[in-house]
Amino acid sequence: MRSRPDLSFAFDSASVGSSPVTAEVRSGTQTLHLLGYRLYHVLTSCSVLAAGLVRFGRIMAAFRVQDQPMLTSTESVRKDEEFEDEPYRSLEMVQKEIVIVNKRKVGLLEKLESYEAELQRRRAESARLREKYKNYIKVPQVDINYEEPGSQERGDLIQGWFTISQKPSMCIKGGQVLITFDEEKVASRIQKTSEFHVPCECGTLTAKPQKINLPVVAYEVQLDIPKRDLQLSNVISSMEDERIKDRLTISFSRPSKGGGEVENVVYDRNTGNGLITFLHPGVALSLAQAGIFQVDLEAEKMVEVAPAFQYRLQRFQTFCGFPRRTVLMSGIKDLDEEDILKESLEVFFQKPSNSGGEIAHIRYISKKKSLHAFFSCDDVAVVDNTSGI
């Protein structure tokens, strides 16, 4: 295929000389060449642009494939940062808890110090009351010889334990009234009030509750009674001691008089007392019930007989108590008519509006008199066991 001949060359060969027409043709040819050159560059740029778009599309596709792993990596980094910050946050929480615990510790130590101070105060008060109500007993000096007790069968001894306690009592002075309620809670309410103003025919009376302290003493008596021993008294004779022992043995060995076989006889001329020990138990107790026994000395004589016993005092204790249902009122103005004042007090303290209740007993003492009041042991509450032996 033949190429198109160059126009500019054709025109140049055909033209002779220069003319305006020839110049115009040359100008158009140059313009065409310039347009062709620019078009070539435009086409080249379009192909380059198309190739670039293809490459850009492939790169974007690759980015879309790698997008999810990149996001996962970002979350992993964020979690790693949170994990690194976690110890610092935990340390701050622990420090805050330590501060709170220290504050609680300080508060508890302050409470402990206050409780220890209160305990020391109450112990001092208890020691003071113990010294105040302690009973001192002067025991005479006695020489005691400790001997090994003789062997004695268990069935030959009667033992008894008895508890003896002092009945609680107090002295009521003039101008005081003692009121016993049916319920303990009423007496407790009355004690918590400092004073009462009781209306009366002659005016208003002032009654002030007072605390009642009742010292009580109690001890235990252990009594041992041998079944084979019989105590004698008023055995007086001019005979020798051995003869008196023989006469006593003969007299208490006669079954006709209720006696029995005698194992041993002890006699003291200075006191006129003696002790008969029978061989079998039961004889001494039956003779002791009669109280007297006839013996043959210089002549027949009646002697006194009684069970032989030994006793010991132990567990000596002193207590301090208060009546549960009884209240003592003092500072009451004295009146000529005790019955009127008693009725006024009874009416006032029976009303629940005055912190009162049902009254079981009331006793008023005028200022010219005094009274010793005794309380039942069941109605007295023990506050402190001050001593024990």
Domains and CATH numbers, the chain: 226-310 (3.30.70.330)
DSSP conformation letters of 208-244: EEE---EEEEEEEEEEEEETTEEEEE----SS-HHHH
Confidence of residue 323 (pLDDT cuts 50, 70, 90): confident
Confidence of residue 264 (pLDDT cuts 50, 70, 90): very high
**Cα distance between residue 222 and residue 224, in whole Å:** 7
CB 287 within 8 A of CB 258: yes
Instruction: Compare 204 and 37 and report the one with higher pLDDT.
Output: 204
**Cα distance between residue 310 and residue 313, in whole Å:** 11
Give the mean pLDDT of the chain: 76
Average pLDDT over residues 229-251: 88
**Cα distance between residue 63 and residue 203, in whole Å:** 110
Say what percent of the chain tops pLDDT 90.
Answer: 6
Using the structure block, give the residue that is written with the tokens 């062997």: 151
Q: Is residue 79's pLDDT more than 60?
A: no
Q: Please tell me what DSSP assigns to residue 4.
A: P
Q: Which residues contact 243 (CB under 8 A, 6 or more apart)?
A: none
Instruction: Cite the DSSP H helix spans in 266-367.
Output: 283-290, 338-349
Confidence of residue 5 (pLDDT cuts 50, 70, 90): very low
- pTM, 2 dp: 0.40
Confidence of residue 128 (pLDDT cuts 50, 70, 90): confident
Among residues 327, 314, 334, the alpha carbon closest in space to that of 373 is found at: 327
pLDDT (0 to 100) of residue 41? 67
Average pLDDT over residues 176-197: 86
Q: Is 310 helix (H, G, I), strand (E, B) or coil?
A: strand
Q: Is residue 97's pLDDT more than 80?
A: yes
The three-point CA angle 4-10-15 to 5° equals 165
CB 355 within 8 A of CB 193: yes
Average pLDDT over residues 289-297: 87
**Cα distance between residue 297 and residue 148, in whole Å:** 34
**Cα distance between residue 254 and residue 49, in whole Å:** 160
Confidence of residue 383 (pLDDT cuts 50, 70, 90): low
Query: What sign for the dihedral angle of Cα 359, 363, 366, 372?
Result: negative
| CA neighbours closer than 13 Å in the CB half-sphere of residue 254 | 11
Q: Is residue 70's pLDDT more than 50?
A: no
Among residues 246, 302, 249, the alpha carbon closest in space to that of 277 is found at: 249
Average pLDDT over residues 324-343: 78
